[in-house]
Amino acid sequence: MVRRKPALRPSQISLLLGTFSLLTGCGHPVERALAGRWFGESVESFDTADVAAATGWARGASMEFSDDAITVAIPAEDPRKGRYEVASAHEGDIVLAIRDDHGRSEKARFTLDGDHYLKWHLDERRSVVLRREQ
């Protein structure tokens, strides 16, 4: 006689799925690395005449990452919200494809510098350095 294993009960299935999600984590590893709020701290590679104004602007900027959502706050503007996908990631260099509420998508480039600093590349030369909220 062949003995059959009893089927899993719904509670056992839930436990297995919960354990699996804890072990595998949620989202892309970049999402986990970016998670939280980042505040502008300084600028890099701006012309000397523009550094003071650019630094003041940068210090008023912030970004918040939560799952696949991003909120960008820029001085004198309403915060902008969108959804992002990781377009590419190699070591600390990240390119995000960010979609706004109208479905338009733009790419933004960042560089993670350890756990506490994030560079937001405005163009090929200039960047804003952001510090993670403690």
pLDDT tens digits, 81-113: 999 999 999 999 999 999 988 889 999 999 999
Q: Give the tokens for residue 103.
A: 């479905």
Q: Are 50 and 32 contacting, i.e. CB atoms less than 8 angstroms apart? A: no
Residues spanned by the domain of 48? 28-132
CATH of the domain at 36: 2.40.128.280
Rounded to 10 degrees, the C-alpha dihedral 100/101/103/108 comes to: 10
Judge contact between 133 and 45, C-beta under 8 A. Answer: no
**Residue 125 maps to a domain:** yes
What is the tally of structural domains in the chain? Answer: 1
Distance CA 134, CA 131 (A): 9
For 40, the token pair is 């502008």
CA 85 vs CA 43, 63, 65, 67, 107: distances in Å: 25, 15, 12, 10, 10
In a domain, 9, yes or no: no
Output the pLDDT for position 134: 80
| pLDDT tens track for 120-130 | 999 999 999 99
pLDDT score at 26: 54
